[in-house]
């Protein structure tokens, strides 16, 4: 699990994490959406990522999904995984993340944010640890502290979950 960009993040910083928040499309998925001629939507989510998020929740780390667009597929997957904080239709990701951190009484240093696009970059930069998948837009990559080796929708989220969990042992 070697990241593409070596993090200068110490175990102490990972051990402070109490919230892992992330975008959905392009982070939990490969960034594509299938829409049928009937108007139904489908997305592919990684089982590896889901297991990592379930393990984080069991370890007491809050998980949040902050998506710029509302999606029934996102709602269904979040319910399956029992994700407690699902924010959809919010393009100001930084404001959404800061509101959630305030609600949970967390500082930026206690938050990880993972996103892939321009609208995610301010939240990536604000969080104590910012993450962007390798195929992210340049602004997101520039704001990130770490780039997972695995691709979005194929275990990138799980990679970050494992780093958080390893620091809690």
Residue 123 tokens read as 């939240």
Boundaries of domain holding 134: 11-167
The CATH number of whichever domain residue 27 belongs to comes to: 3.40.50.1000
- pTM (2 d.p.): 0.92
Q: Is residue 120 part of a domain?
A: yes
Q: Which of 50, 3, 23 is nearest to 127 (CA)?
A: 23
How many domains are contained in the chain? 1
Q: Is residue 4 part of a domain?
A: no
Per-residue pLDDT of the chain (169 residues; tens, 9 = 90+): 344 444 556 766 999 999 999 999 999 999 988 888 998 888 999 999 999 999 999 999 999 999 999 999 999 999 999 999 999 999 999 999 999 999 999 999 999 999 999 999 999 999 999 999 999 999 999 999 999 999 999 999 999 999 999 998 7
Q: Is residue 2 part of a domain?
A: no
């Amino acid at each position: 699990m070697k990241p593409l960009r070596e993090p200068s993040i110490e175990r102490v910083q990972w051990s402070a994490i109490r919230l892992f928040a992330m975008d959905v499309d392009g982070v939990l998925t490969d960034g594509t959406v299938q829409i049928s001629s009937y108007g139904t939507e489908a997305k592919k989510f990684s089982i590896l990522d889901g297991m990592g998020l379930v393990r984080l929740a069991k370890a007491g780390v809050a998980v949040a999904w902050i998506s710029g667009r509302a999606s029934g597929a996102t709602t269904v997957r979040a319910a399956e995984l029992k994700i407690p904080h699902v924010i959809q239709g919010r393009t100001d990701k930084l404001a959404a993340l800061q509101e959630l951190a305030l609600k949970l009484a967390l500082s930026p240093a206690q938050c990880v944010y993972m996103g892939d696009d321009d609208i995610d970059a301010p939240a990536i930069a604000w969080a104590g640890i910012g993450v962007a998948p390798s195929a992210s837009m340049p602004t997101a990559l520039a704001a990130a502290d770490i780039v997972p080796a695995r691709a979005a929708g194929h275990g990138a989220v799980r990679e970050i979950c494992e780093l958080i969990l390893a620091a809690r042992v």
